[in-house]
C-alpha cells in the first residue's frame, strides 16, 4: 500500500477528469487544481478521459499538463462511462487517494488541503466531499447528500457547510469534487457499469454508506465553485414539446429505463416501483406555453414563479417590486396574485397596491370553529414552475397544491412562522397540519433565524430552508427621522401639548392583541415614579373609541390617529421609547428607524419578529405585571447613558435588516428551489 501515514511523505492523489467539448472551462478547472495542489500538499497525477471532443480539448490539456495520462473516447462514453475508465486506470497504481473532479469546477486554493484534513488516513473509510457554491451567490450547488424516504420514493437533500453543526449523516454525494481514500475504493470498487451518464455517483455513495460501512464527510466551508446544471433544454424543461421531452428522458443524459429501474430497485426500498414510474408519468404532462416577442421571434424559455397572498399589506409592496426586478435578471417571471383583506384587516387601513399584481376574490368557507378561505387560482397557475404560498391552515388551496405537486404540478414553497409558539392559542389539529405541510413542500422561507431553526428541528432539511430576515423598507422613515431638527422637536412638543418630561410612543394598529389597556396602566404606574411622563398612541383600529374615552380623563395620554412618513418621524422625535406591550412584529424595525429602543412584555403571543429584540441590548422585555414593567421602564428612563446605548443598538438593527437583503434572500431561495432537483 502506497500510504504516506507514518512516513512523513506527501500523499499521492490521482485526479480523474472526464471532458467533452468544454475546452476553456476545462483549462480553467485544471489551472485552479494545480494552484490548490502544490508540492507542499500532495503528489498529484492527472488521468484525463476525453470523450470525443471536437474543440481541441484533449490537445489543450496535453499542452497544459504534458505528464497527464489521457484516454480518448469516441463520444459515446458519457460521464459515468468516461469516469469508469479513468478510475480503473487510477486504481492500477494504488494511489493514496483518488479525486473525482468535474471539468466545470473552479477549485479554491485550500480545497485539497481541506479535503485531506477531512479524510487524513488513506486506509480509512471516510469519503471527503467538497461543498461547492453557485458562482456569485451563497447558494450551495453541489455537495454531499442526505436521503429522506417517502411513500413515493427517495428525496435527496444537499448538505451545505453550515449543516455540519447538526447530527445530519450524509448518505451519498454529487460527484463533482470528491476525495476517495484507498481504503474506500478498494472496498467499493468502480462505478457500476450499468450506468452510462448520471446516477453513478449517487449509486456509489449509497453502496459505500448503506452496504459497505463507509462514511461521508462534508467540507466545513465552500471549497470551490460550480454552476448548477440548468433544466432548460432537458427532459425537465416543460417549455419543450412532449415528443422532445420524452426523447430526452429516454436518452443517456436523461433517465434511461434500464438504468433508472436498476437504481431504484437497488436503493428505493419497498416502494421503488412508484418512484421508478414517476418521472415517466410526469413527462406526459402537457407542455408549458413558451414566451416570445412575436410569431417570427426566437422562443425564450423563462421560468415562472407565482406568489399567492391572501391580501397585500402596503409594507410588502417594495419587497415584491425588488424581487420582480431581480428575478427578471435571472430569466424568471414573477407573478403576484392577491385577494382582498377581511373585515378585521380592513380596519387597519394598510392595504397596498401593485399595478402588475393579479386580483382574485377570496371566498369565505364556513367551517367548525374557524373560517376557511378559498383562493380560486388553480387554473391560472397551471403552467407555473413554483408556487409560493403563506403557511396558514385556513388557506384551503394549499392542500391541493401539495397533492398537485405529487402528480407533477408546480413545485410548492411555504413561507411563514413555522410553528405557533403560543401553545395556549394554538390548536393541535392546526399544528399537525403545519408539520404535515412542511414535509409536503419543496422549500420553506422562514421569517427569521429562529423560525428557520424551528422548522429544521421539525425535520425539514436546512438545505431547503431560506432565512429571509423578514424586513420592511425603513430607509425613508430613517431619513425623515435623521432630518428632524432640534427646533422641530420643540415645535412638535408644543403642537401636541407635551411638556419637557420623557415620552413613550406606541405605533401600530389598535386592536386587542396589542394589549393597549395594559399599556395605559403601565404608563400610569410610570407616572407614579416620573410624574411628567406622557404617552403618545399613533394608529387606528377597533379599540380607538375606548382609548379616546380613557384619554378624556388623562391629559398625559394623546391619541393621535394614523400618521406616516415625515409626520410620524417628527412625532417620534419627542419620544424616548417605543412601547409595544403586546404582539410585537415588524414594528421592531420601525422603532430602530425612529431611533427608539423597543419596550415590550414577556407574552407568549408575539409574532416571530420578537426574535429581533435582545433584552437589555436594543430594548427591554418586561414582565407582564404592569407595576413591575413600569419600574423597569422608569429605571431605564432615569439612566441616559444606558438609554443611549439601547437607542444605538436599535438603529443598528434597522440599518442592517433591510428590505434589499430580504429581497435578495428571497430571490436566491427561489432560484435554488427552481434549480434543485430533489428527487431522482
Average pLDDT over residues 306-320: 91
Say if CB 199 and CB 680 are below 8 A apart. yes
Please provide the DSSP assignment of 115-177 as one string. Answer: HHHHS--TTS-EEEE--EE-TTSS-EEE-EEEEEEETTEEEEEE--GGGGGS-----EE-SSE
Residue 539: exposure state from Cβ atoms within 10 A (0-12, 13-18, ≥19):
buried
Alpha-carbon distance of 242 to 285, in angstroms, equals 8
Phi/psi for 569 (5° steps) reads -65, -40
Which pLDDT does position 292 carry in this prediction? Answer: 37
Average pLDDT over residues 546-558: 96
Average pLDDT over residues 461-476: 89
Reduced to 3 states (helix: H, G, I; strand: E, B; else coil), residue 538 is strand
The residue among 530 and 346 whose pLDDT is bigger is 530
State yes or no: pLDDT of 416 exceeds 50. yes
Q: Which residues pair with 158 in a beta bridge?
A: 145
Say if CB 519 and CB 551 are below 8 A apart. no
Residues contacting 59, CB < 8 A, separation 6+: none
Alpha-carbon distance of 535 to 448, in angstroms, equals 30
For residue 606, give the nearest of 627, 626, 622 by alpha carbon: 622
Lowest mean pLDDT among 252-266, 452-466, 505-519: 452-466
Alpha-carbon distance of 667 to 678, in angstroms, equals 19
State yes or no: pLDDT of 547 exceeds 80. yes
Please provide the DSSP assignment of 187-203 as one string. Answer: HH-S--TT-SSSSHHHH
The residue among 351 and 672 whose pLDDT is bigger is 672
State yes or no: pLDDT of 556 exceeds 50. yes
Average pLDDT over residues 48-68: 95
Say if CB 353 and CB 320 are below 8 A apart. no
Which pLDDT does position 343 carry in this prediction? Answer: 66
Residue 481: exposure state from Cβ atoms within 10 A (0-12, 13-18, ≥19):
buried
Alpha-carbon distance of 24 to 32, in angstroms, equals 12
Angle ∠(359,362,365) on CA atoms, nearest 5: 170
Alpha-carbon distance of 447 to 653, in angstroms, equals 15
Say if CB 464 and CB 676 are below 8 A apart. yes
Length of the chain: 680
Average pLDDT over residues 93-98: 97
Which pLDDT does position 49 carry in this prediction? Answer: 97
Which pLDDT does position 679 carry in this prediction? Answer: 41
**CATH number corresponding to 475-657:** 3.40.50.2000
Q: What is the DSSP letter of 594?
A: T
**For 269-293, what is each residue's pLDDT tens digit?**
888 998 888 888 877 766 555 443 3
Which pLDDT does position 394 carry in this prediction? Answer: 85
Task: Provide the mean pLDDT of the chain.
Answer: 88
Alpha-carbon distance of 520 to 142, in angstroms, equals 56
| Strand intervals (E) in 269-375 | 303-309, 332-338, 358-359, 363-367, 370-374
Q: Which CATH architecture has domain 303-472+664-675?
A: 3-Layer(aba) Sandwich (3.40)
**For 316-372, what is each residue's pLDDT tens digit?**
999 999 999 999 988 899 999 999 887 666 655 667 889 899 999 999 887 666 778
pTM over 0.75: no
Which pLDDT does position 295 carry in this prediction? Answer: 36
Alpha-carbon distance of 381 to 384, in angstroms, equals 5
- Which secondary-structure segment (H or E) carries 224? strand 224-225
**373-to-161, 285, 341, 377, 412 alpha-carbon distances in Å:** 40, 29, 11, 12, 18
The residue among 217 and 428 whose pLDDT is bigger is 217
For residue 365, give the nearest of 335, 410, 337, 399 by alpha carbon: 399
- Which secondary-structure segment (H or E) carries 245? helix 242-250
State yes or no: pLDDT of 670 exceeds 90. yes
Reduced to 3 states (helix: H, G, I; strand: E, B; else coil), residue 349 is coil
Residue 566: exposure state from Cβ atoms within 10 A (0-12, 13-18, ≥19):
middle
Model confidence at 566, pLDDT cuts 50, 70, 90, reads very high
Query: Are the folds of 12-225 and 475-657 the same?
Result: no
State yes or no: pLDDT of 299 exceeds 60. no
Average pLDDT over residues 304-321: 92
Which pLDDT does position 274 carry in this prediction? Answer: 85
Reduced to 3 states (helix: H, G, I; strand: E, B; else coil), residue 415 is strand
Alpha-carbon distance of 412 to 437, in angstroms, equals 10
**CATH number corresponding to 12-225:** 3.90.550.10
Say if CB 287 and CB 240 are below 8 A apart. yes
Domain ranges of the chain: 12-225, 231-291, 303-472+664-675, 475-657
Buried b (16+ CB within 10 A) or exposed e, 34-65: eebbeeebbbbbbbbbbbbbeeebbebbeeeb
Average pLDDT over residues 521-547: 96
Model confidence at 631, pLDDT cuts 50, 70, 90, reads very high
**For 124-174, what is each residue's pLDDT tens digit?**
999 999 999 988 877 788 999 988 877 667 888 888 886 554 445 799 999
**For 183-232, what is each residue's pLDDT tens digit?**
999 999 999 999 999 999 999 999 999 999 999 999 989 999 998 887 77
**471-to-321, 339, 599, 672 alpha-carbon distances in Å:** 14, 22, 19, 21
**For 239-251, what is each residue's pLDDT tens digit?**
778 888 899 999 9
Alpha-carbon distance of 475 to 654, in angstroms, equals 9
Lowest mean pLDDT among 351-355, 443-447, 469-473, 583-587: 351-355
Residue 371: exposure state from Cβ atoms within 10 A (0-12, 13-18, ≥19):
exposed
Amino acid at each position: 500500500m502506497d500510504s504516506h501515514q507514518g512516513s512523513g511523505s506527501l500523499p499521492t492523489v490521482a485526479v480523474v477528469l472526464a471532458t467533452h467539448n468544454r475546452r476553456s472551462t476545462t483549462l480553467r478547472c485544471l489551472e485552479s487544481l494545480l494552484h490548490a495542489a502544490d508540492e507542499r500538499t500532495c503528489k498529484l497525477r492527472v488521468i484525463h478521459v476525453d470523450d470525443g471532443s471536437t474543440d481541441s480539448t484533449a490537445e489543450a490539456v496535453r499542452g497544459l499538463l504534458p505528464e497527464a495520462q489521457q484516454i480518448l473516447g469516441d463520444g459515446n462514453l458519457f460521464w459515468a462511462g468516461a469516469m469508469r475508465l479513468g478510475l480503473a486506470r487510477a486504481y492500477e497504481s494504488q494511489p493514496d487517494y483518488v479525486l473525482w473532479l468535474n471539468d466545470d469546477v473552479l477549485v479554491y486554493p485550500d480545497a485539497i488541503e481541506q479535503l485531506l484534513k477531512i479524510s487524513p488516513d488513506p486506509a480509512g473509510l471516510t469519503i471527503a466531499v467538497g461543498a461547492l457554491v453557485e458562482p456569485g451567490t451563497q447558494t450551495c450547488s453541489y455537495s454531499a447528500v442526505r436521503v429522506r424516504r417517502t411513500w413515493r420514493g427517495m428525496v435527496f437533500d444537499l448538505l451545505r457547510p453550515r449543516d455540519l453543526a447538526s447530527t445530519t449523516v450524509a448518505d451519498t454525494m454529487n460527484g463533482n469534487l470528491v476525495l476517495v481514500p484507498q481504503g474506500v475504493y478498494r472496498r467499493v470498487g468502480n462505478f457500476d457499469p450499468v450506468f452510462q451518464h448520471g446516477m453513478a455517483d449517487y449509486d456509489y455513495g449509497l453502496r459505500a454508506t448503506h452496504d459497505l460501512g463507509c462514511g461521508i464527510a462534508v467540507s466545513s466551508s465552500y471549497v470551490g465553485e460550480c454552476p448548477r446544471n440548468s433544466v432548460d433544454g432537458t427532459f425537465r424543461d416543460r417549455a419543450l414539446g412532449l415528443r422532445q421531452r420524452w426523447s430526452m428522458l429516454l436518452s443517456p443524459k436523461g433517465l434511461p429505463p434500464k438504468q433508472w429501474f436498476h437504481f431504484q430497485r437497488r436503493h428505493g426500498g419497498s416502494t421503488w416501483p412508484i418512484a421508478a414510474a414517476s418521472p415517466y408519468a410526469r413527462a406526459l404532462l402537457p407542455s408549458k406555453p413558451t414566451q416570445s416577442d412575436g410569431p417570427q421571434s426566437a422562443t425564450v424559455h423563462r421560468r415562472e414563479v407565482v406568489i399567492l397572498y391572501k391580501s397585500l399589506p402596503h409594507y410588502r409592496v417594495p419587497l415584491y417590486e425588488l424581487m420582480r426586478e431581480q428575478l427578471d435578471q435571472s430569466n424568471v417571471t414573477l407573478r403576484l396574485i392577491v385577494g382582498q383583506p377581511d373585515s378585521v384587516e380592513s380596519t387597519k387601513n394598510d392595504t397596498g397596491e401593485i399595478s402588475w399584481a393579479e386580483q382574485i376574490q377570496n371566498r369565505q368557507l364556513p367551517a367548525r370553529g374557524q373560517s376557511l378561505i378559498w383562493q380560486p387560482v388553480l387554473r391560472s397557475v397551471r403552467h407555473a414552475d413554483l408556487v409560493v404560498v403563506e403557511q396558514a391552515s385556513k388557506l384551503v388551496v394549499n392542500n391541493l397544491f401539495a397533492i398537485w405537486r405529487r402528480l407533477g404540478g408546480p413545485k410548492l414553497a411555504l413561507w411563514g412562522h413555522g410553528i405557533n409558539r403560543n401553545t395556549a392559542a394554538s390548536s393541535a389539529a392546526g399544528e399537525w397540519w403545519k408539520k404535515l405541510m412542511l414535509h409536503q413542500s419543496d422549500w420553506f422561507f422562514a421569517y427569521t433565524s429562529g423560525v428557520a431553526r424551528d422548522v429544521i428541528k421539525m425535520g425539514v432539511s436546512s438545505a431547503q430552508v431560506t432565512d429571509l430576515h423578514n424586513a420592511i423598507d425603513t430607509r425613508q422613515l430613517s431619513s425623515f427621522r435623521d432630518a428632524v431638527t432640534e427646533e422641530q422637536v420643540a415645535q412638535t412638543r408644543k403642537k401636541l401639548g407635551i411638556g419637557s418630561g420623557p415620552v413613550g410612543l406606541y405605533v401600530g394598529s389598535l386592536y386587542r392583541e396589542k394589549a393597549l389597556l395594559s399599556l395605559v396602566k403601565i404608563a400610569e404606574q410610570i407616572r407614579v415614579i416620573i410624574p411628567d411622563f406622557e404617552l403618545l398612541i399613533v394608529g387606528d383600529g377597533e379599540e380607538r373609541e375606548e382609548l379616546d374615552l380613557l384619554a378624556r380623563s388623562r391629559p398625559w395620554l394623546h391619541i393621535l390617529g394614523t400618521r406616516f412618513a415625515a409626520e410620524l418621524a417628527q412625532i417620534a422625535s419627542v419620544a424616548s421609547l417605543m412601547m409595544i406591550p403586546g404582539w410585537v412584529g415588524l414594528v421592531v424595525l420601525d422603532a430602530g428607524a425612529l431611533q427608539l429602543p423597543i419596550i415590550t412584555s414577556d407574552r407568549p403571543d408575539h409574532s416571530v419578529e420578537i426574535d429581533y429584540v435582545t433584552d437589555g441590548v436594543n430594548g427591554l422585555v418586561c414582565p407582564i405585571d404592569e407595576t413591575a414593567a413600569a419600574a423597569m421602564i422608569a429605571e431605564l428612563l432615569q439612566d441616559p447613558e444606558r438609554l443611549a446605548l439601547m437607542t444605538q443598538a436599535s438603529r443598528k438593527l434597522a440599518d442592517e435588516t433591510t428590505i434589499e437583503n430580504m429581497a435578495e434572500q428571497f430571490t436566491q431561495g427561489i432560484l435554488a428551489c427552481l434549480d434543485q432537483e430533489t428527487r431522482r
